[in-house]
Amino acid sequence: MQRKIKVAAKDFLYRLSVRTTQARYWLTAQVARALLSALRHLPSDKALNFADRTARRLGPLVGRHKVALENLRHAYPEKSEAEIEAIALDMWGNMARLAAEYIFLDQLFDYDPDAKEPGRVEVSGVPLFQRIAAEDKPHIIFTGHLGNFELLPIAGATYGLKVTALFRPPNNPYIADYILSTRRANMGDLLASQAGASFTLARLLEKRGTIGMLVDQKFTRGIRSTFFGRPCETSPLLPKLVRQFDCDVYPARCIRLPNNRFRLEIEDKLELPRSASGTIDLAGTAQILNDVVERWVREDPGQWMWFHKRWQLSKGKRKPRFKIIEKA
For 79-96, how does the pLDDT look when each residue is reduced to its tens digit (9 = 90+)? 999 999 999 999 999 999
Q: For residue 99, what pLDDT band results from cuts at 50, 70 and 90?
A: confident
Residue 67 located in a structural domain: no
Per-residue model confidence (pLDDT) at position 320? 52
Per-residue model confidence (pLDDT) at position 326? 45
Terminal CA-to-CA distance of the chain, rounded, Å? 57
Q: Which of 77-91, 182-196, 251-265 has the lowest mean pLDDT?
A: 182-196
Per-residue model confidence (pLDDT) at position 264? 95
User: Which of 99, 102, 121 is CA-nearest to residue 110?
Assistant: 121
- Give the helix, strand, coil percentages of the chain, each rounded to 5: 50, 15, 35
Q: Is the pLDDT of residue 303 over 80?
A: yes
Residue finishing a domain among 41, 56, 71: 41
Q: Is the pLDDT of residue 73 over 70?
A: yes
Asked if residue 296 and residue 194 are part of one domain, the reply reads: yes
Asked if residue 253 and residue 150 are part of one domain, the reply reads: yes
Asked if residue 293 and residue 155 are part of one domain, the reply reads: yes
Percentage of the chain exceeding pLDDT 90: 56
Asked if residue 129 and residue 37 are part of one domain, the reply reads: no
Positive or negative: CA dihedral 34, 36, 39, 41: negative
Asked if residue 9 and residue 148 are part of one domain, the reply reads: no
The burial class, CB within 10 Å (0-12 / 13-18 / 19+), for 189 is middle
R_g of the chain, CA atoms, integer Å? 21
Element (H, E) at 319: none
Residue 280 located in a structural domain: yes
Which comes out higher in pLDDT, residue 326 or 223?
Answer: 223
Asked if residue 274 and residue 128 are part of one domain, the reply reads: yes
State the total domains in the chain: 2
Asked if residue 174 and residue 276 are part of one domain, the reply reads: yes
Asked if residue 261 and residue 127 are part of one domain, the reply reads: yes
Residue 286 located in a structural domain: yes
Residue 283 located in a structural domain: yes
User: Which of 307, 290, 313, 291 is CA-nearest to residue 70?
Assistant: 307
Q: What is the mean pLDDT of residues 53-78?
A: 96
Residue 94 located in a structural domain: no
Q: What is the mean pLDDT of residues 106-116?
A: 84
Residue 184 located in a structural domain: yes
> Rounded to 5 degrees, what angle do the CA atoms 163, 169, 173 make?
135
Asked if residue 271 and residue 136 are part of one domain, the reply reads: yes
List the domain range (segments joined by +) for residue 132: 121-303
Most confident of 93-102, 189-198, 245-254, 315-324: 245-254
d(CA 95, CA 58): 12
Asked if residue 34 and residue 134 are part of one domain, the reply reads: no
For 203-257, how does the pLDDT look when each residue is reduced to its tens digit (9 = 90+)? 999 999 999 999 999 998 899 999 999 999 999 999 999 999 999 999 999 999 9
Asked if residue 150 and residue 267 are part of one domain, the reply reads: yes
Q: What is the pTM of this model?
A: 0.84
Q: Is the pLDDT of residue 324 over 70?
A: no
Asked if residue 282 and residue 185 are part of one domain, the reply reads: yes
Residue 113 located in a structural domain: no
Residue 139 located in a structural domain: yes
